[in-house]
Amino acid sequence: MYVVESKGGAIACMLLALFFLGTWPAIMTLLERRGRLPQHTYLDYTMTNLLAAVIIALTFGEIGSSTPEKPNFIAQLSQDNWPSILFAMAGGVVLSLGNLSTQYAWAFVGLSVTEVITASITVVIGTTLNYFLDDKINRAQILFPGVGCFLIAVCLGSAVHSSNAADNKAKLKGAGYSPTSNGALTNEELRNLEKGTGIIEEAKAGTAEFLLELEKRRAIKVFGKSTIVGLSITFFAGVCFSLFSPAFNLATNDQWHTLKEGVPHLTYRDHRSRLTSMTGMAEAGHFWLGCCAGSGMVSSSWEAKLQGMQLRMLCRHFHL
């Protein structure tokens, strides 16, 4: 099994993970705004994720000699480590629920605000749970003031969403839009957008015309929906993401001593094979939380690029 043991290599892997965690939401949001149905996008995502997991497990997971302390992927398949596997599967379930929820949260709340809120909730709940799972090895007087800052970010993110919704409502009202207006696309136009052959009219970003064109071609219709709906979906996604980290931590470190004596702990690659798994398993839960905390900044940058966000709105997101 290939493991990066140098600090520089681990930092490089974390930066790579940070970039990818902030980029994939932008790509999926772009697809939804172009009319791609979320269920089709998520089907492609899960199939690719499974394929990548198998390839990495059979390559990086098989590099080097297998030892009792660090067995290779194939060797661990025959070991009696079902408790850890079940924890890993539970983490995969909540992670999938979080990913599904965020597809709708991106439409209702926006990419950057969704990432800020979900990442902050993940840090607040996940860090607290991991602190007790790891037998309080971290200094609480340093750790929890930082957690409190993320709790404030959740409140500020909710306020930004409410402000953005009010701005958009004022723009649409000034343009004479009403929720009963018939601006929907025909079935043929929807099929063309799904195939990527539809003609997309360009409008100046941030204008009422831009918002109306976006609503016409996107897969998830959001006009006339309550602000509470989007925030509720976002908070649910954040809770799901926060539970993934403790389950992941239990699967790799076995704090509850569910494994039989002599059975080695699972490695990260066995239940969620990613290139970033090479950072090791000792700080697995904290690694995930750290990447989530910074991914919101990357996603905000992508949204500014993809949507042409106005400077005033962009400053609100980066202040978070």
Cα atoms in the Cβ-side hemisphere of radius 13 Å centred on 11: 3
Mean pLDDT, residues 19-45 taken together: 86
Q: How far apart are CA 154 and CA 146, in angstroms?
A: 13
Tens digits of residue pLDDT in 249-277? 899 888 998 988 888 777 654 444 333 33
Query: Residue 300's closest CA among 19, 111, 160?
Result: 111
Q: How far apart are CA 263 and CA 271, in angstroms?
A: 16
Q: Where are the alpha helices (DSSP H) in the chain?
A: 7-33, 38-59, 73-77, 82-109, 111-133, 140-174, 187-195, 208-217, 227-253, 268-271, 284-307, 311-319
**Which residues lie closer than 8 Å to 211 by C-beta, 6 or more apart?**
168, 171, 172
Tens digits of residue pLDDT in 69-85? 778 888 888 888 899 99
Burial of 110 (0-12, 13-18, 19+ CB in 10 A): buried
Q: How far apart are CA 233 and CA 274, in angstroms?
A: 27
The pLDDT assigned to 279 comes to 34
How does residue 178 score in pLDDT terms, banded at 50, 70 and 90?
low
Mean pLDDT, residues 100-111 taken together: 90
